Amino acid sequence: MSSSEENLRSVHLRWTREGRVFAGGSDRGPRVTLDGDGVAGPSSTEFVLLGLAGCMGIDVLVILEKSRVPVKDLEVGVVGERAESAPRRFKSVRLTFRVTGPAPEDQAKLERAVQLSRDTYCSVLHTLRPDLDLDIRIERV
Amino acid sequence: MSSSEENLRSVHLRWTREGRVFAGGSDRGPRVTLDGDGVAGPSSTEFVLLGLAGCMGIDVLVILEKSRVPVKDLEVGVVGERAESAPRRFKSVRLTFRVTGPAPEDQAKLERAVQLSRDTYCSVLHTLRPDLDLDIRIERV
């Protein structure tokens, strides 16, 4: 792996010796807890959905800011459906963006921001399988 | 999306209105912080790498336990390399498993556990693009 430093992302996780609980994080930032049983922290599959929500959420914030569309609040909900048999990968994912701030006349810009993230910018989405069934909803609230 | 409850994973993230910082989690568990700038918490791409580390780490723990191979400590390091241009997806990922506990004669079982996770069990890995360049190293320490 030869690459300039800025293209690399480095993380580590260490088993806490309790159940399926791991602690770790990026090599530069604060620690997080991951729990395979979803009690002490999100599970590993939930971490991926959170990464997807964050990636598209940030894209949408940045694009709307450039478009001068005001955003007061943004919540991203993600529901993923896993296959029934191993490896139990995600087959489909539904994302719901709930945005406060944009006016009714900003609806087209809001939809365009989500579309740009989906098609062009979101690093996490494009790291996932291309055959993932993706359903995106946008709600101005 | 019609599915039995057990196949669904549900998370949410809400913008904190500060920079690129979001807070959220699974609908049943404690909150985590995601920060696009990697300061207040891991970034969205780092969340995906952490999910991958946790998923394979848990698989390896479970498989070694079934094989009666003792594990005292397990650390998983992940370095991902992103594409230089948008959507800047991960092109390659290197995972390093550092395991304390298994004896030299357990080496084959240790390698087999990692292989089973990679080929058969890891939900997160199989949710990622099949063309991801994956390099896995195992160190008994």
**CA dist list (Å): B16 to A43, A57, B77:** 22, 12, 29
Q: Which residues of A touch B20 (CB under 8 A)?
A: 58, 61
- Nearest by CB to A13, from B15, B76, B87: name it: B76
| Reported confidence tier of residue B28, pLDDT bands at 50, 70, 90 | confident
Do residue A73 and residue B29 have CB atoms under 8 angstroms apart?
no
Which residue would you say has higher pLDDT here, B27 or A2? B27
* A129 close contact with B: CB closer than 8 A: yes
Distance from CA of A105 to the nearest CA of B (A): 23
Question: Is the model's pLDDT at B1 over the cut of 70?
Answer: no
Measured in degrees and rounded to the nearest 5, phi and psi for residue A74 equal -145, 125
The pLDDT tens digits of the residues spanning A49-87 come to: 999 999 999 999 999 999 999 999 999 999 999 999 999
Instruction: Burial-class residue A70 by CB neighbours within 10 Å (0-12, 13-18, 19+).
Output: exposed
**Contacts with A, B 83-102, CB within 8 Å:** 83-84, 86-90, 92, 94
Q: Are A133 and A83 in contact (CB under 8 A)?
A: no
Question: Is the model's pLDDT at A1 over the cut of 70?
Answer: no
* pLDDT score for B3: 56
Q: Are A85 and A126 in contact (CB under 8 A)?
A: no
Question: Is the model's pLDDT at A2 over the cut of 60?
Answer: no
Measured in degrees and rounded to the nearest 5, phi and psi for residue A60 equal -65, -40
* A104 close contact with B: CB closer than 8 A: no
Q: What is the DSSP letter of B105?
A: G
The pLDDT tens digits of the residues spanning A89-128 come to: 999 999 999 999 999 999 999 999 999 999 999 999 999 9
Q: What is the CA radius of gyration of chain B?
A: 17
Do residue A44 and residue B51 have CB atoms under 8 angstroms apart?
yes
Determine the Cα angle at A119 with ends A113 and A121, to 5°.
70
Distance CA A74, CA A97 (A): 7
Looking at every residue in chain B, the average pLDDT score rounds to: 96
Instruction: Burial-class residue B17 by CB neighbours within 10 Å (0-12, 13-18, 19+).
Output: exposed
β-strand A21-26 against A32-35: which pairing, if any? antiparallel
pTM value is 0.96
* pLDDT score for B5: 83
Please give the residue of chain B at the shortest CA–CA distance from A57.
B15
* pLDDT score for A3: 56
Q: Going by C-beta distance under 8 Å and a sequence separation of 6 or more, which residues neighbour residue A24?
A: A11, A12, A13, A14, A31, A32, A34, B50, B53
CB pairs under 8 A between A and B: 289
- In chain B, % of residues over pLDDT 70: 98
Average pLDDT over residues B81-107: 97
Do residue B87 and residue A50 have CB atoms under 8 angstroms apart?
no
Closest CA to A128 of B26, B89, B123: B89
Do residue A54 and residue B73 have CB atoms under 8 angstroms apart?
no
* B19 close contact with A: CB closer than 8 A: no
